[in-house]
Amino acid sequence: MKIIPAIDIIEGKCVRLEQGNYSIKKIYNENPLEVARQFEEHGIKYLHLVDLDGARTGKIVNWKILNQIACKTKLQIDFGGGIKSGNDLRIAFENGAKQITAGSIAVRDKEKVLDWLNKFDNEKIVLGADVKSEKIAIGGWTETTDLDVFRFIADYFQEGMKYVICTDIVKDGMLEGTSIELYKKIINHVPEIKLIASGGISSISELNLLAILKMEGVIIGKAIYENKITLKELQNYVD
């Protein structure tokens, strides 16, 4: 199971929100590269980098941060936030992203995302399934749709999508535990999908539960920044 720390960026700084609420943000470090290097020093290989300014404005904003981390570390970066066009995709890949996450655009323009899948293959395009009460949320989590998460993922899987990051918005940033039951349901609906858990991870013991489910990976954010899970502890889970 891949251990994937998260760095969320607002105005070039490393922050965390609660339940996606931009008015409740905490700045943890003004130098995201410094944070990324700390991850790498502890054997971490992967990074989930989110451009929260991009998610809110609908276009990539913090591409310079992506470029800086990609050039100065060996971390394999999954980049998301504000990717809405082919130009956004080009900017992300040219600046070092190994994968991009298609979130809101996967709801609003499925044809475009399927075109990206055909052009770049399913190792580079990740489906972002942000969930509230088992319904897909979009627009930086400001809008909840009537789209069922299980059908959403299953439909994309049938079209060739391989990886899915599923974030339970209610859990995200709250340090109250991750959505084990939701992930069990998704795996039951789409057993072959490579599912990455995101949101609410609060203790090292949850990693064991997720590993039992044979998750592809787990994204950990606030638990690291609040020292609920230490980087030293995570070293035991890194290949």
Taking the alpha carbons of 166, 159, 1, 10 in that order, is the dihedral positive or negative? negative
CA distance 72 to 69: 5
Catalytic residue from among 8, 78, 168, 172: 8
Check if 130 is active-site. yes
Taking a C-beta distance cutoff of 8 angstroms, is the pair 128, 84 a contact? Answer: no
What is the dihedral sign for C-alpha 157, 159, 161, 162? Answer: positive
SS (H, E, C) 82-121: CCCCHHHHHHHHHCCCCEEEECHHHHHCHHHHHHHHHHHC
Token pair belonging to 230: 């230490």
Whether 146 is a known active-site residue: answer: no
Q: Would you put residue 200 in left (φ > 0), alpha (ψ -120 to 50) or beta? A: left
CA angle 87, 88, 89 (to 5 degrees): 90
Pairing of strands 135-138, 125-132: antiparallel
124: tokens are 């580079």
Amino acid at 57: T
**Which entry of 51, 53, 130, 168 is annotated as an active-site residue?**
130
Active-site residue list: 8, 130
